[in-house]
Amino acid sequence: MSRIGQKPITVPDGVKVAVNGRTVSVEGPVGKLSWAHRPEIEVQLDAAGKTIVVTRKGDDRISRSLHGLTRSLIANMVAGCAKAFTKSLEIYGVGYGVQHQGPKLTVTCGRSHPVVFDVPADLDIEVQTPQARGDNEPAKFTISGADKQAVGELAARIRKARPPEPYKGKGVRYAGEYIRRKAGKAFVGAGGA
């Protein structure tokens, strides 16, 4: 038995869950999500609508592998609709920065052109520039939304535009991420080695 899959999911107050065939719909204060699970899995909602139980129909390999996954995805939907998932990123480097206008996020990160990202409508971005805060800290921004996968995917795509390099630490990194630093090449005088 999957230890994760057999745990019941508790639905918090203010979140509504509906199971219609294979489609699970969750609606809460943050947003609305729906997802269709595989036919090897059964999702049942109790009469009060406060507990979700995920079971599998068979004991074959695919059913066992999908049991815990399905439970985790539904639990993330419930948690995201109750309270938004967030990812915080920081941009280190002279002249590096970020701007958010409408559905576009523009990242200036040392390339010949600014990198523009399309922001899905269900995600919110909050930008804190060093000038607005009045300090020398890097530009910081936060991505938040009900869909954990969408938040993580956008954050990973932005980080991939300029991953932090190990010599000066310049680039886009997650808040609190440790970057292992390397020593640069040692300069040897004109006399040679």
User: What is the reported pTM?
Assistant: 0.85
pLDDT in tens for each of the 193 residues of the chain?
678 888 999 999 999 999 999 999 999 999 999 999 999 999 999 888 789 999 998 889 999 999 999 999 999 999 999 999 999 999 998 888 899 898 999 999 888 999 999 999 999 999 986 665 555 678 899 999 999 999 999 999 999 999 999 998 899 999 988 989 988 888 776 665 5
Return the closest-CA partner of residue 150 out of 33, 7, 67, 50: 33
Class of domain 9-82 as given by CATH: alpha beta
Specify the CATH number for 85-174; select among 3.90.550.10, 3.90.930.12, 3.40.50.1110, 3.40.50.10190: 3.90.930.12
Same fold, 9-82 and 85-174: yes
Report the amino acid identity of residue 177. E
Q: What CA–CA distance (Å, rounded) separates 21 from 79?
A: 22
Do 130 and 137 form a contact (C-beta atoms < 8 A)? yes
Distance between CA atoms of 68 and 79, rounded to whole angstroms? 16
Give me 103's structure tokens. 């559905």
Q: How far apart are CA 111 and CA 21, in angstroms?
A: 49
Task: Please report, for the chain, the start and end positions of each structural domain, with discontinuous segments joined by +.
Answer: 9-82, 85-174
